[in-house]
Amino acid sequence: MNLDQALITYLAESRELLQDMEDSLLRIESESEQVEIINAIFRAAHTIKGSGGLFSLHEIVAFTHVVESVLDRLRADELKIEPDLVALLLECGDHIGTLLDQVSGGSVAAGSAEVLEQRVQIAGDELIDRLSHYLGIDKNMRKTKPASVPQTSEARVESMGSDTIGNDNWHISVRFGRDVLRNGMDPLSFVRYLGKLGEIVNMNTLCDAMPALDALDPEACYLAFEINFKSKADKVTIEEVFEFVREDSSIRILPPRSRVGDFVALISELPEEQMRLGEILVRCGTLTQHELDLVLELQAQSIKTGGRQIGEITIDQGLAQAVVVNAALEKQKQVNEKKARENSFIRVDAERLDALINLVGELVIASASAALQSQREGATLLQEATSNITRLVEEVRDNALKLRMVQIGETFKRFNRVVRDVSKELGKDIELVVTGGETELDKTVVEKISDPLTHLVRNSMDHGIEPAEVRAAKGKPVKGTLSLNAYHDSGSIVIEVSDDGGGLNKEKILQKAIERGLVPAGQSLSDREIYNLIFEAGFSTAEQVSNISGRGVGMDVVRRNIQALRGTVELDSEAGVGTIVRIRLPLTLAIIDGFLVGVGESAYVVPLEMVLECVELTEAEKQSLDQRAYVNLRGEVLPFIRLRDHFGLNGQNGRRENIVVVKYGEQKAGFVVDKLMGEFQTVIKPLGKMFTSLKGIGGSTILGTGEVALILDVPALIRQASVRDAERNEALEYAVSAAA
């Protein structure tokens, strides 16, 4: 077993468990049924602690044990859920995450004890002191105060009702795995350790699994135990005894006075003959003969009725109410479905996935080259073969890209914590509403969009949503609403961050921009152009600088990071109603379907999902293009860019020119080109640092001929066409007014 790899897996799974803990803690206050949520949080903490012990991560084990103790008191209903406790548990989750980061950042050798930085140790001690308050422990003496008197066994039996059998002891069934001895474990050592937690009243050893002598494997373990165990320990503590063999062995633990159905299930699931198991349960003292007869009768009825559920039989016997059994069966069904889903997933290293995508990209290029060569040869059979290969490569490409597609909902969920913490810091009551979480996009895009989204969310909470008293004076609900939404549109994904705050102040933004020299005084700007000024570097209208915002640092970084993903960001606002920031991103950064066009000797690729149509220019339209920068497309004014002029290419215009009509968001434009060369699978190659300042180019790709084609940055080109069209209209209006 590779322990280094096992530790890496442990770290990844522990971070997922911490995220689950955080999600549960954030919703627990608003849920009426809290028991299952508390159990889920406890299980997550227990798993992190238990697995951490396998790698001797003592700091994680020690700290998580204290957290687990508080959660155990919550489970026992000795503590109540309150905001301060939830906030403390969230901080504890953050601290466990810090400890995990230190493990991953330092030595990962199994059994090594990580040296914690002093500030982390201090933070952990402070959290333990605060947790001690909920454990009834003096933080100075760290000595447990007298606990409340536990409920007597008689009272507990009475409260559990008449549908229980057995005595006041635990019953433990252990079937050790075949490889226990090979893994260096001694089965009897677990029994001896169990004796330290209580008294083993009776134990029966089973050797039913032992084969004939000629088939016996001397290194295999065939032992099984049925144990009647008297102890005040809880189930989790007893389970921990078998922590190191849990994965390979079958361990079933029934609490004192268990339900009849639990014993029926135990006898049904164990491999030995049922009558023999029943006799052993009686011999152990777990059941009386009368109770065993009842269990076997229910088991027989289950077989007779063709495998009816134990719950149905329990109802028939009057041992439990139908509503209780149905709820239990429904819960078990959900658990089984969850396990089935978990078993259908495998964990793949991200670097391996990236390597696969790169190889698929090279395969796409090689396929295009083969298709081109077959066309030049003119061999029909060869063309058919390459056509089939191309089709299969397209399917491989699509499926490979789907492997990297993840739902953005996981990213959205993280903002529950951000909204909770920031609203508390600001003293505002803010609700987060998430829609479109099932929308999928490339994992790389998701990872890089998290920071810009965080800044936008914090800005909306600080600048956008008003304080409660201001909202009340305006007749708005006291609780503000912040929304995150995602959806697909025209081959892109759109992410919206919106709030129901006071909106942006156009006059204030424009005045600040004039003061800073960003726009000349008297220049006419549209509302959207004014709003987009907040994305300029260092721009801020905040009158006070806070821990959250106000320094003018961030919005320009947001736009720069989004543009680095070949995306755009725009903003709409209405005074008194709210603000919407709309981010538009490509679905993937790796491979796209493209439309290949030619201008002179150069080739360019337009993302196919943005292409609406291609229109051939008439001779009259060609001549008029020199006087104007737009064409009449069936009554619609369409601004255009002549790519030859835009990129400064030499040579004469083509004999047959076409306009490629493209759309991005709500905007349309046209690209005038010489040749239409058809669809083309495009492997996106990033440009070097020398070419990052090129306007209108989003990357490059390699053609089947081995030549390089540039990928057009459609959003940037559309913006240029729109700006040029607006400047032309402004100049025309000025000329008309001057003539008048």
Phi-psi region of 634 (alpha: psi -120 to 50; beta: other; left: phi over 0): left
Q: How confident is the model at residue 550 (pLDDT cuts 50, 70, 90)?
A: very low
Pairwise CA distance, residues 530 & 507, whole Å? 9
Of 70-84, 148-162, 343-357, the one with minimum mean pLDDT is 148-162
Compute the distance between CA of residue 635 and CA of residue 368 in angstroms, rounded to an integer.
39
Bridge pairing between strands 675-683 and 578-586: unpaired
Which range has highest mean pLDDT (133-142, 302-311, 476-485)?
A: 476-485
Nearest by Cα to 456 from 541, 571, 584? 571
pLDDT band at residue 682, thresholds of 50, 70 and 90? confident
pLDDT value of residue 707 = 83
In the structure encoding, which two tokens stand for residue 88, read together? 């403390």
Evaluated on CA atoms 550, 554, 559, 562, the torsion sign reads negative
Q: Which two tokens stand for residue 296?
A: 């076997």
Question: Would you identify the CATH topology of the domain 350-404?
Answer: Helix Hairpins (1.10.287)
Residues 573-589 have pLDDT tens digits of 888 889 999 998 887 76
Q: What percent of the chain has pLDDT over 90?
A: 11
Q: Rounded CA gap, 566 and 697, in Å?
A: 10
Percent of the chain with pLDDT over 70: 81
- How does 55-65 read in b/e, with b if 16+ C-beta sit within 10 Å? bebebbbebbe
Backbone angles phi, psi at 199, to 5 degrees: -115, 125
Contacts of 400 (CB under 8 A, 6+ apart): 356, 357, 360
pLDDT the model gives residue 435: 93
Phi, psi of 380 (to 5 degrees): -60, -50
pLDDT of residue 147: 37
Q: For residues 326-349, give the mean pLDDT.
A: 57
Q: Has residue 239 got a pLDDT over 60?
A: yes
What is the rounded average pLDDT of the residues 22-50?
85
Overall average pLDDT of the 187-200 stretch: 88
Residue 631: CB atoms within 10 Å = 19
Q: What is the pLDDT of residues 630-653, one digit of tens each?
A: 788 888 888 888 888 888 888 777
Which residues, at least 6 apart from 504, have a Cβ–Cβ distance to it below 8 Å? 531, 534, 571, 573, 575, 579
How do the domains of the chain map onto residue ranges?
Answer: 3-135, 156-341, 350-404, 407-586, 591-739
pLDDT at 157 over 50: no
- Average pLDDT estimate for 687-698: 74
Q: So what's the pLDDT on residue 274?
A: 74
Mean pLDDT of 621-628: 70
Alpha-carbon gap, residue 242 to 174, rounded angstroms = 9
Sign of CA dihedral 596, 598, 603, 604: negative
Per-residue three-class SS string for 641-679: EEHHHHCCCCCCCCCCCEEEEEEECCEEEEEEECEEEEE
More confidently predicted of 598 and 544: 598
pLDDT at 321 over 50: no
Write out pLDDT tens, residues 277-289: 888 888 888 888 7
Query: Phi, psi at residue 230, to the nearest 5°?
Result: -105, 120
Does position 499 have pLDDT exceeding 90, yes or no? Answer: yes
3-class SS shares of the chain: helix, strand, coil, % to 5:
50, 20, 30
Beta bridge partners of 137: 144
Contact yes or no for 205/188 (Cβ under 8 A): no
Cα–Cα distance between 124 and 95 in angstroms, integer? 7
Between β-strands 578-586 and 591-599, what pairing exists: parallel, antiparallel or unpaired?
unpaired
Average pLDDT (97-118) is 63
SS3 of 723, please? helix
Q: How far apart are CA 171 and CA 722, in angstroms?
A: 77
Alpha carbon distance 495, 473 (integer Å): 31
| Cβ pair 393, 433 in contact under 8 A | no
Judging by DSSP bridges, how do beta strands 697-702 and 430-435 pair with one another? unpaired
The answer to whether residue 179 scores a pLDDT higher than 70 is yes
pLDDT at site 306: 46
Q: In this model, does residue 56 exceed pLDDT 80?
A: no
CATH class of 3-135: mainly alpha
Q: What is the pLDDT of residue 263?
A: 83
Say what angle helices 443-459 and 415-426 make with each other, to 10 degrees.
10
Nearest to 204 by CA among 186, 185, 224: 224
Segment (H or E) for 203: strand 199-206
> Which CATH superfamily includes the segment(s) 591-739?
SH3 Domains (2.30.30.40)
pLDDT digits (tens, 9 = 90+) for 367-376: 888 888 888 8
pLDDT at site 4? 67
Shared fold status for 3-135 and 591-739 = no
Q: Which residues pair with 607 in a beta bridge?
A: 594
Q: How far is CA 152 from CA 149, 257, 259, 401, 670, in A?
A: 9, 13, 19, 61, 83
pLDDT of residue 730: 59
Please tell me the distance from the alpha carbon of residue 8 to that of residue 351, in angstroms, as a whole number: 14
Q: What is the reported pLDDT for 228? A: 92
Bridging pattern class, strands 170-175 and 224-230: antiparallel
β 164-165/258-259 pair status: antiparallel
pLDDT value, residue 495: 93
Neighbours of 2 (CB within 10 A): 9
pLDDT of amino acid 162: 37
pLDDT at res. 337? 60
Identify the pLDDT of residue 112. Answer: 38
Greater model confidence, 175 or 726: 175
Mean local confidence (pLDDT), 204-215: 85
CA dihedral 333, 337, 343, 345 (to 10 degrees): -160
| Lowest pLDDT segment from 64-68, 621-625, 724-728 | 724-728
**pLDDT at 690 > cutoff 90:** no
Q: What is the mean pLDDT of the chain?
A: 79
The gap between the terminal CA atoms of the chain, to the nearest Å, is: 88
pLDDT of residue 94: 92
Please answer whether residues 56 and 110 qualify as being in contact, where contact means their C-beta atoms are separated by less than 8 angstroms. yes
* Tokens at 123, concatenated: 């933070």
Please give the structure tokens belonging to residue 738. Answer: 């001057």
Is pLDDT above 70 for 264?
yes
Q: Return the CATH fold of 407-586.
A: Heat Shock Protein 90 (3.30.565)
Mean pLDDT across 13-28: 89
- Asked whether the beta carbons of 480 and 500 are under 8 A apart, the reply is yes
How far apart, in whole angstroms, are the C-alpha atoms of residue 403 and residue 348?
10
| pLDDT tens digits, 413-468 | 888 888 988 888 888 999 999 999 888 888 888 888 888 898 899 888 988 899 98
Q: How confident is the model at residue 311 (pLDDT cuts 50, 70, 90)?
A: very low
Cβ(561)–Cβ(452) below 8 Å? yes
State pTM to two decimals.
Answer: 0.60
pLDDT at position 498? 93
- pLDDT category, 139, cuts 50, 70, 90? low
Contact (CB, 8 A) for 555 and 455: yes
Compute the Cα dihedral for 437, 439, 440, 444 and give only its sign: negative
The 10 Å CB-count burial string (b at 16+, else e) for 693-708 is: eeebbbbbbbbbeeee
With a CB cutoff of 8 Å and minimum separation 6, the contacts of 425 are 547, 548
Q: Say yes or no to pLDDT of 317 above 80.
A: no
pLDDT digits (tens, 9 = 90+) for 346-360: 777 778 888 888 888
3-state per-residue secondary structure call for 220-280 = CCCCEEEEEEECCCCHHHHHHHCHHHCCCCEEEEECCCEEHHHHHHHHHHCCCCHHHHHHH
Classify 366 as helix, strand or coil.
Answer: helix
Q: Is the confidence at residue 26, as pLDDT, over 70? A: yes
User: Which residues are paired to 11 by β-bridges?
Assistant: none
| Beta-strand relationship, 480-489 and 430-435 | parallel
Kindly tell me if the per-residue pLDDT of 686 is higher than 70. yes
Has residue 152 got a pLDDT over 50?
Answer: no
Residue corresponding to tokens 């989204």: 453
Single-letter residue type at 111: G
List CB contacts of 43: < 8 A, sequence separation 6 or more.
none
CB-CB contact of 457 with 470 (8 Å): no
Count Cα neighbours of 364 within 13 Å in the Cβ-side half-sphere. 27
Answer yes or no: are the C-beta atoms of 640 and 586 closer than 8 Å. no
Answer yes or no: is pLDDT of 379 > 60.
Answer: yes
Q: For residues 341 and 382, which has the higher predicted lDDT (pLDDT)? A: 382
Ramachandran angles phi, psi of 553, nearest 5°: -110, 120
Query: Is beta strand 602-607 parallel, antiparallel or unpaired with respect to 708-712?
Result: parallel
Pair 401, 588: CB distance under 8 Å:
yes
CA 146 to chain CA centroid, nearest Å? 44
